[in-house]
């Protein structure tokens, strides 16, 4: 029995909400957005036909409150709810509440969610269905003694996982028995804080794994198919950075075996809608014929679904809606395999600093255009645009950049070109890191695994060194921003350090990488800005800064950069580099040390999860002091040196601002 959806409420925010709205427009379905206090002017709110305010910024008080979502649906007459991914997408109670309210839930049944919600139970179910699983322990006894004994049976290294976890939360690698108790404590705490469930499982840690997942779909007629696989091996902190389809180097026989296992997993729970069966593949001896094991099933659409859409030509959100309406799957397995064509690669553009342990960044986006022309082979999926804020309350992903090519090399080339032509400014992002990853020779060769970033951190994560030419270009941008060339005949209409019969000149200062002040000597003579930094000279001809775009001539070549100038910062974005320089005040104030030695400040705004020491206690260098969480990431703050703790008055649950003084370590 089919039931046509006429108005759909999206119970999520950001990129996925915009993505669903786009498909609904094509299908003639009206849309309703929900938004929190900080999202009133968000892109998904602007795109939807209607929008309903649902509460304060914290997700637990807005996007995660099922009653508010259902009330918004009933008030607007929405006859269906799409949960997006995250938040309520894998919450069986929410799916049941929708059904009880007579609202179609665009997703699997509550029973299917429950079957796959807890990793331990899901592994047992897969074992019974004949799907290979990783050796491990997923029993009910959660005592430290039992978990320790089971880890010894499995053999180190082991991987500890929160049974209700996902996205790397509640996960710890343990290589030595002495580190197990602390890892168990941290993983259980993170599982409780993130998912409301502290239970853990332990499994064999595969030291050179690839993360390959299979997109599955089922309908109410009992049919299930797969839409090939995606390789999501390039990760940081167990969270995906680069995804591609199909998996590089996979043989036809292995693809068929993995696809069959995934469909078997879906059929074992009578699955309906979009789902992803995730496998870990041991590639210590290469991919061909490598053993693969079931990890988990995500009972929702995945963030990386666009690469599957690019190689199959199918809209998976449309498939979700049609299945939810009671329609049969649009294509058979044979038809899908005939349609599959080419290769697609996706990267996640985050507000974070890869060169500072991937610390999240917050602030206003001054440059980013999700609607830019990407050509026929590119795509940008985003929920923000220039002028929007990235806040502490939600995931710091700015958007996803996706490209298709006839083969893998062409797809990577197309994506690298798309990233190069997508400047972002206003806050720190991983854009330059993504370019490094896409152009790395081993990635290009298809030698990817989940430890890829750590294995190549010297080239991928080496902090960029600011050159003298970089400082000179920043000086050119500052001068061009003033537009000192007179527009009329009045010589007193501008203040440009004019000197009779001599070029105007001045000095500009920047904070250098090593803490030293860098001086740029600038002279302006007609249409030429001459800058000298140390022994480096740069002559910029006909420099103009219009609408944030700096153009000038350099060594006979025309340069074009995005430039953002403020009294304290200069940001320049080129095709392969993002440069942010701190301007130095002439009074030397920027040299002052605001906090004395041993002062520990919050690296970002967040919440204190655990306090490991007491005020007045002696500590040693490297000893854990505090555990804090911000933007879905847990971070342990360690002592930078030996000393005595003072000024500590924090407790678990306290919120701290960015840069707030947490404690001080004084000399003994």
How are beta strands 389-390 and 363-364 bridged, if at all?
antiparallel
Pairing between strand 549-554 and 171-174? unpaired
Q: Please, which pLDDT band fits residue 595 given cuts at 50, 70 and 90?
A: very low
Closest CA to 11 of 1, 3, 21, 2: 21
Give the DSSP per-residue string, 115-136. Answer: HHHSHHHHHHHHHHTT--B-SE
State which fold the 210-460 domain adopts: D-amino Acid Aminotransferase; Chain A, domain 1 (3.30.470)
What's 135-204's CATH class?
alpha beta
Structure-token pair, residue 90: 């894998």
Statement: residue 254 has pLDDT above 60: yes
pLDDT digits (tens, 9 = 90+) for 520-541: 999 988 899 999 999 999 999 9
> For the chain, what is the mean pLDDT?
89
Reported in sequence order, the residue ranges of 476-548 that DSSP labels E, i.e. its strands, are 504-511, 517-525, 528-533, 536-546
Ramachandran category for residue 568: left, alpha or beta (phi over 0 → left; psi -120 to 50 → alpha): alpha
Which residue in the list 13, 236, 300, 436 is annotated as catalytic? 300
Most confidently predicted of 109-118, 148-157, 277-286, 399-408: 399-408
pLDDT category at 311 given cuts 50, 70, 90 is: very high
Q: State the residue for tokens 């030698």.
A: 447
- Rank 232-241, 334-343, 358-367, 484-493 by mean pLDDT and report only the highest: 334-343
Interval 159-171: pLDDT, tens: 999 988 766 788 9
Of the ranges 175-179, 320-324, 587-591, the best mean pLDDT one: 320-324
Per-residue pLDDT tens digits for 597-611: 477 878 777 889 999
300 is catalytic: yes
Q: What is the mean pLDDT of residues 233-248?
A: 91
Structure tokens given for 302:
């995945």
Three-class DSSP category at 116: helix
Q: Tokens standing for 474?
A: 């920043």
The CATH code belonging to domain 593-666 is 2.40.50.100
**Span of 166-170, 317-321, 571-575 with lowest mean pLDDT:** 166-170
Percent of the chain at pLDDT above 90? 67
Number of H helices, E strands in the chain: 18, 37
Lowest mean pLDDT among 432-436, 553-557, 573-577, 582-586: 582-586
Nearest to 400 by CA among 572, 577, 596, 240: 240
Contact 617, 642 (CB under 8 A): no
Q: Using one digit for the tens of pLDDT, what is the confidence trace for 608-649?
A: 999 999 999 999 888 899 988 876 667 788 888 888 998 899
* CATH class as words, domain 468-589: alpha beta
Q: What is the pLDDT of residue 331?
A: 97
Q: CATH code for 7-106? A: 3.40.50.20
pLDDT in tens, 67-81: 999 999 999 999 999
Q: Where are the domains of the chain?
A: 7-106, 135-204, 210-460, 468-589, 593-666
């Amino acid at each position: 029995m089919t039931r046509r959806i006429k108005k759909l409420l999206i119970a999520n925010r950001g990129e996925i909400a915009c993505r669903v709205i786009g498909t609904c427009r094509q299908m003639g379905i009206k849309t309703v957005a929900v938004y929190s206090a900080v999202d009133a002017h968000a892109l998904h709110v602007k795109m939807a036909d209607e929008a309903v305010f649902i509460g304060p910024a914290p997700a637990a008080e807005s996007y995660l409150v099922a009653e508010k979502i259902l009330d918004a649906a009933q008030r607007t007459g929405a006859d269906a709810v799409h949960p997006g991914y995250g938040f309520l997408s894998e919450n069986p109670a929410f799916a049941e509440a929708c059904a009880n309210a007579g609202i179609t839930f665009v997703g699997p049944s509550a029973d299917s969610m429950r079957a796959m919600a807890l990793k331990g139970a899901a592994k047992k179910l897969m074992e019974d269905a004949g799907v290979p699983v990783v050796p491990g322990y997923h029993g009910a006894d959660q005592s430290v003694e039992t978990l320790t004994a089971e880890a010894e049976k499995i053999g180190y290294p082991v991987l500890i996982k929160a049974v209700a976890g996902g996205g790397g939360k509640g996960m710890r690698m343990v290589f030595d028995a002495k580190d197990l108790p602390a890892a168990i404590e941290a993983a259980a705490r993170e599982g409780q804080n993130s998912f409301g469930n502290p239970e853990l499982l332990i499994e064999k840690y595969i030291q050179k794994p690839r993360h390959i997942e299979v997109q599955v779909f089922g309908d109410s007629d009992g049919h299930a198919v797969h839409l090939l696989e995606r390789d999501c091996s390039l990760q940081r902190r167990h969270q995906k950075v680069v995804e591609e389809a199909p998996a590089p180097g996979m043989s036809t026989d292995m693809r068929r075996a993995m696809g069959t296992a995934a469909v078997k997993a879906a059929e074992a729970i009578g699955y309906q809608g979009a789902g992803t069966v995730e496998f870990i593949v041991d590639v210590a001896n290469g991919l061909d014929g490598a053993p693969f094991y079931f990890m988990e099933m995500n009972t929702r659409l995945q963030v990386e679904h666009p690469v599957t859409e690019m190689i199959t030509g199918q809209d998976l959100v449309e498939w979700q809606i049609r299945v939810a309406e009671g329609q049969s799957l649009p294509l058979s397995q044979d038809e899908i395999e005939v349609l599959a064509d080419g290769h697609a690669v996706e990267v996640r553009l985050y507000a974070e600093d890869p060169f500072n342990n991937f610390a999240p960044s917050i602030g206003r986006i001054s440059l980013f255009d999700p609607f830019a022309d990407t050509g026929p082979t590119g795509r940008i999926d985003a929920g923000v645009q220039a002028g929007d804020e990235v806040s502490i309350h939600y995931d710091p992903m700015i958007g996803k950049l996706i490209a298709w090519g006839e083969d893998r090399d062409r797809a990577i080339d197309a994506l690298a070109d798309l990233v190069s032509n997508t400047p972002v400014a206003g806050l720190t992002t991983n854009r330059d890191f993504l370019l490094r990853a896409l152009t790395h020779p081993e990635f290009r060769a298809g030698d990817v695994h989940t430890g890829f970033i750590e294995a190549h951190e010297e080239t991928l994560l080496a902090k960029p060194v600011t050159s003298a030419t970089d400082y000179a270009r920043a000086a050119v941008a500052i001068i061009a921003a003033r537009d000192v060339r007179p527009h009329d005949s009045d010589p007193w209409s501008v203040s440009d350090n004019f000197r009779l019969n001599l070029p105007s000149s001045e000095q500009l200062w920047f904070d250098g990488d090593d803490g030293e002040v860098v001086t740029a000597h600038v002279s302006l003579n007609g249409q030429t800005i001459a800058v000298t930094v140390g022994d480096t000279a740069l002559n910029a001809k006909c420099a103009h800064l219009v609408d944030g775009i700096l153009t000038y001539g350099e060594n006979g070549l025309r340069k074009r950069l995005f430039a953002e100038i403020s009294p304290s910062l200069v940001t320049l974005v080129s095709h392969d580099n993002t440069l942010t320089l701190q301007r130095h005040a002439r009074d030397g104030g920027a040299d002052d040390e605001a906090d004395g030695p041993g002062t520990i400040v919050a690296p970002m705004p967040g919440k204190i999860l655990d306090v490991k020491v007491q005020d007045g206690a002696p500590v040693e260098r490297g000893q854990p002091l505090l555990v804090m969480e911000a933007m879905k990431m847990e971070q342990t703050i360690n002592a930078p040196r030996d000393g005595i703790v003072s000024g500590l008055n924090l407790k678990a649950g306290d919120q701290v601002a960015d840069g707030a003084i947490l404690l001080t370590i004084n000399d003994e």
